[in-house]
Amino acid sequence: MDIKKKLRQAPSSPGIYIMKGGREKVLYVGKAKNLRNRLRSYFQDSALLDARKMKMVQEVRDFDYIVTDNELAALALEANFIKRIRPGYNIVLRDDKNYPYLKLTVNEEWPRLEVVRKIEKDGALYFGPYVPAGGMWEMLKFIRRNFPIRICRHNLDKPFRPCVQHQMGRCIAPCAESLRTTEDHEKYIEIVNEVRAFIQGEKKGLLSSLQDRMQKLSDELKFEEAASIRDRLKALETAWETQHVISLELGDMDAIGLYREGQEASIFMLFIRNGMVIGQKDFFLKKLEDMDNGELASDFIEQFYSKEMPLSPRIILPVKAQLTTQQQWLSERRGAAVRLAYARNELEGKVLKMANDNALYAFNRHRETRVDETILKIKELLGLERLPKRIGAIDVSNISGSEAVGALIVYEDGKFVKEDYRLFKIKTVSGIDDFAMIGETAGRYLKNIAEDESRLPQLLLIDGGRGQLESALKAMRPFDLPVELTGIAKAKDRREKTSGVRTDVDRIYLPGKRSPVYLEPFLDTTHLLQKIRDEVHRFAITYHKKLRAKRTLESPLEKIAGIGKTRRLALLKHFGSLDAIRSASVEELAAVKGMNRKVAELVQETLG
């Protein structure tokens, strides 16, 4: 069915829409309050779309939609589809794992504590998420050493023989029939409440309760039990000293930090419970095109919180955005109000700053890791002998051979090394000869750094095809340096029919290899090599334009022998303009202070 006809038939109801490309490939899943209006906005008002969605629309061959009862149902369905299908134009979080939680089974007669990754509506208490899980395991180890709560999954309808945990004093053994008195149960529930208070960070109440119990046991002359409580108090005080408490006033909240550079962003989550940071998680997102940060935050929230998890009453956003539908959706799932907003006071502002700072650190860490992986892939792709940790690139720029320049840039450790950039005015080549200009630039650069191995690149990219590469190789031979050279040729709109070489994609030419290596779009290796090529091209053409502009602004007087700065200024001051100087007689020119007849005749001859 044709798209125009389907647009006319689309209902004005809430729901989700599924954009499809060739071979029914799902490109994008979105939600809408009014499906007809939203779908029409893609195909009839596409000029209003951002670059990412305009690019997607060009690939669309068909679409489907699913009607829902309301916007909230559409939001939930959209999140489910994105998680399951992972469409290319949606933000997809690479995070398939369920987070770990501590589960306290207060719904059982004799509650136990265990680690789970699935939240169930079973009446138990869930604490978390703990990301990474290291802190949770340390907490669990502490609880098992200091609170004699059971960790087994036995059905206690029938009695069991107490296990080694009881012998070690780490469980009061409710499995044993002889230890199931009413008094035993009351004592056990007290321990369960202490565990809950410890996990939730209720420091003041828990310490006060334990001190009262210790005093009571001492008064009853139960000194051994009192000593056990005393040891627990000391252990608790030590444990709390190591916990990252920001402020108890914060209560429970999640903070979303954001750092972005162009089409890439890092999101850093802080999970705070009772004023303590109990977990953190970062995500790296790329290919964002010109998506604004409000839409980015909205899409992230819909995906991240689509997991089954205990929801915090407050979620602090990194941007000022009205996310009313998302707030209603989260509140409905929590069964109580969720506030989804930018930091509203100084304390929340400090937490958001912490999250944003960590997003920056995570961004840099991820980029460095990703760059290392990409560099390794480039080595494998091009069959290089050494890992190209330092990459140089050369390009030339000229118009009809005039103001010809060469440029060299360096890329290392994930960034361009501006202090190692070099510019060359072409000296030995006249006329249009890009091959010779590349040869001169490569030769002069390599000669300058031949004796400083620390500045040598492992790989030198030449902007151009086989001819430019051969010129650079010829220039390098006298130096016998451990530098590998390749040429990088830009894609054209068509294929070269005669040679059979694909020119619709960028390609790499290697010494001694007849066929080029084709750089397939959308790969990290392609993006990095293109980025380096584009930077050296920018550097060369900027210098070339600067020289051309300077030549255009130069006065013809500057090219006359005998006319220096003093005489030039004197002539301009006396006559007022270049045209007036051109119209003056030899006698008038010679009469100007600092001039003589010989120089005046030369001026008239040159300008006349």
d(CA 257, CA 267): 6
User: Does the domain at residues 3-85 carry the CATH identifier 1.10.260.40?
Assistant: no
Average pLDDT across each block of 10 residues of the chain; the chain has 608 residues. List them in order.
Answer: 82 92 90 91 77 85 90 88 86 74 89 87 85 79 82 78 75 75 85 85 74 77 77 70 61 92 90 84 85 90 86 93 90 92 90 92 82 88 91 89 87 90 90 90 90 87 93 91 92 59 84 89 88 93 81 68 85 83 89 90 83
Intrachain domains 248-365 and 383-551 with the same fold = yes
CA distance 211 to 206: 9
Cα–Cα distances in Å, from 543 out to 184, 403, 404, 405, 464? 85, 9, 10, 7, 19
Q: What is the pLDDT of residue 432?
A: 84
Q: Which of 536, 537, 527, 533 lies closest to 263 in space, CA to CA? A: 527
pLDDT for 6 equals: 87
Give the pLDDT score at 410.
96
State the pTM of this model. 0.58
* Beta strand segments in 149-263, E: 253-261
pLDDT at 169: 72
Secondary element (H or E) of residue 437: helix 434-449
CA distances 51 to 48, 56, 59, Å, are 9, 9, 13
Q: 556-607, what's its fold?
A: DNA polymerase; domain 1 (1.10.150)
- Distance of CA 585 to CAs 559, 571, 589, 601, Å? 20, 13, 6, 9
Residue 46: its pLDDT value, please? Answer: 64
How much is the pLDDT for 504?
77
10: nearest Cα among 30, 26, 34: 34
Bridge-based pairing state of the strands 484-489 and 507-509? antiparallel
120 CB burial (10 A radius; 0-12, 13-18, 19+): exposed
How much is the pLDDT for 421? 95
The closest of 334, 347, 160 to 255, measured between CA atoms, is: 347
Tell me which CATH code domain 248-365 carries.
3.30.420.10
Is residue 175 exposed (0-12), middle (13-18) or buried (19+ Cβ within 10 Å)?
A: buried
- 137-152 CB burial, b ≥16 within 10 A, e <16: eebbebbbebbbbbee
The two three-digit tokens of residue 467, written as one number: 């001819």
Token code pair at residue 374: 């990409």
pLDDT at residue number 418: 93
556's tokens = 């013809």
475 burial class (0-12, 13-18, 19+ CB within 10 angstroms)?
A: buried
Report d(CA 558, CA 564) in Å as an integer: 7
Positive/negative CA dihedral, 23, 29, 30, 35? positive
Return the pLDDT at 240: 60
383-551 CATH fold: Nucleotidyltransferase; domain 5 (3.30.420)
308-330 b/e (C-beta count within 10 Å ≥ 16 → b):
ebebbebbbbbeebebebbbbbb
Of how many residues is the chain composed? 608
Listed by start position, the domains of the chain span: 3-85, 101-241, 248-365, 383-551, 556-607
Cis peptide before 132 (omega within 30 of 0): yes
Q: What is the pLDDT of residue 223?
A: 76
